[in-house]
Structure 1
Amino acid sequence: MANEIDTRVSLDLDPEAAIATIVDYDDETSSYVEPAKKAFTEAYNVLRAIHDAKTAVAEDPTLTEAGALLKVADFADKRMIAKVYPAWDAASTSLNSKVEAWEKEMSREVVSQASQQVSSEVRAHFKGLKTGERMVAISQAIRDGDSVVASAVLGAPAMLSGIDEEMKQILLREYHERFNPGLTKRLRAVTAARDLIDRKLGVLRKEVSKAVGTIKIKGNTFDLHGQYSGEITPAQLRAKRDKSNKPFAI
């Protein structure tokens, strides 16, 4: 986690805590999920800065409560738009590109390792089995690490072994997971990192709103949509400010 945990920011956005939720995160996969960690780090630091800014403006005697809120909101928008959201989008895009590329690798065709005659005999054997027995036998060969038998089946058109194309794709995935464990692990880690980034975007937006805050008021107050809110938001203040500035426009 961060050197000093800041309780003002949700632990969900602490870079170390967030990345630690990825089961396959370790020295082998850390470089591949680095975009996610950088995005969380950028967000965490900016959120802390927003909280610090809010504390600072509270000490400024020249600012009204509304003026202080707008100053913090403007600061937050500038930092989020300039740094955090671009980093978040870049991380999601980068990680998703890896996922798509490695998913293709996990479903690519394999080349039969046996001679043409042996491969034909292997396929004929499997085709002669009952459907249930056939699938169990092929999967067992993959689990046993018998790449010769497995590649003989998967390195040819599916119908030659008595399976359909859909089942062949499932078996190809199983084959690559068995014989390329390094890629399988990296794919799991990067997929988890991408999903983490996408899933925590809503938390990030809520944390920004919480850090900026609102003006709590008493009485029957309605927001811009006619709903009772009991608070004034930065958006409402901006709307009033912009309206009051119109007569001064050149």
Structure 2
Amino acid sequence: MKVQMSDNIDTRVTPSFHPDTVQAIDAYDDDTASVLAGTEAAFNEAYLAVGRVHDAREAGKTNPAWTEAAALIETQNFADKLTGNLAKRFDSATSNLTRVVEGLERDLSQPLEGRGVGAMAGEIRSYVHSLPEGQRMGFIQKAIEAGDERTVGAVLGGVPYLSGITPEMATMLLRLYHEKTNPRAAKQLRAAKAGLELLGERAPLLFKEMEKAVGAPQAKVQQLRAAKAKAEKSFIA
């Protein structure tokens, strides 16, 4: 479910951080919203934080006790504090989604233990093995699509070579089976992977956006801080 970006737009901040970009993920819907909640919260916090630094910069200009350099240093101090908190938030969201992906990958790769026993299962495997090599995969895929648990269990619940398929083919078919029988988990996995990709793409933008909000390169602020510290030494009793 894709959504349109809300009217709550701050034109000073890149839309790359707007939380609606998370909701624009193809697999985002009621089934996956909880999976992406941490990611959405991180984006929302980043979007608001950059806006707050822009506000702080403008407020600093109105303080009669601050020179332009002093206002710049204070704005950078504020930005540094928010950036540190945001880095933790993005790291936490990434760690949480990584755990979700690992868990869902396990769930969607569980073997069909105990399904491939009995005389009927053996006959099914023999039949599949007798098919031309190029038809075996298609036959099993059709069984999965049709919900033919007996055929699928016989083939994927047994040793792959007994059905004339490779372990790699069996693994692929097993995933196809799990995605067919548990579409919600498959959708959540797609959403979690998309969320991880989004976090990886957008997190590096944070420093650039904060620098833009402060209004000066980090190097310049560092020079001003050094000059301030040197000057203040003269006032130490």
1:151 maps to 2:138: no
Question: Identity percentage over the alignment?
Answer: 38
Structure 1 equivalent of residue 72 of structure 2:
69
SS in 2 for 1:233: helix
Structure 2 equivalent of residue 22 of structure 1:
25
Matched AA of 1:29: T
What whole-Å deviation, never above 9, does each CA across 1:45-77 have from its counterpart, x for those lacking one?
A: 111110100000111233222221111000110
1:234 maps to 2:218: no
SS in 1 for 2:186: helix
Distance 2:150 2:28 in 1: 32
Decide whether the 8 Å contact of 2:116 with 2:156 is kept in 1: no
Distance 1:246 1:139 in 2: 77
Matched AA of 1:122: I
Summarize the Cα distance change of 1:113–1:59 in structure 2 as closer, same or farther, 3 Å threshold: same
Summarize the Cα distance change of 1:246–1:145 in structure 2 as closer, same or farther, 3 Å threshold: farther
Distance 1:239 1:128 in 2: 80
Distance 2:161 2:94 in 1: 39
Summarize the Cα distance change of 1:148–1:243 in structure 2 as closer, same or farther, 3 Å threshold: farther
**Deviation of 1:23 (Å):** 0.9
Aligned partner of 1:47 among 42, 46, 50: 50
**Deviation of 1:116 (Å):** 1.0
Structure 1 equivalent of residue 212 of structure 2:
210
Aligned partner of 1:160 among 153, 159, 162: 162
SS in 1 for 2:204: helix
Higher-helix-fraction structure: 2
Distance 1:138 1:23 in 2: 29
**Deviation of 1:147 (Å):** 2.2
Aligned pairs (5 A) from 1:108-119? 108-111=110-113, 113=115, 116-119=118-121
Distance 2:208 2:175 in 1: 39
Structure 1 equivalent of residue 185 of structure 2:
183
Aligned partner of 2:82 among 76, 79, 82: 79
Decide whether the 8 Å contact of 1:70 with 1:238 is kept in 2: yes
**Deviation of 1:2 (Å):** 5.5
How many residue pairs get aligned? The number is: 233
Distance 2:236 2:221 in 1: 22
Aligned pairs (5 A) from 1:114-153? 116-153=118-155
**Deviation of 1:214 (Å):** 1.0
Decide whether the 8 Å contact of 1:95 with 1:193 is kept in 2: yes
**Deviation of 1:109 (Å):** 0.3
- Structure 2: 5+ residue stretches without partners: none
TM-score, normalised via structure 2 length: 0.89
Distance 1:57 1:214 in 2: 14
Matched AA of 1:213: G
What whole-Å deviation, never above 9, does each CA across 1:65-100 have from its counterpart, x for those lacking one?
A: 22211110001101221x211111111100110001
Matched AA of 1:96: T
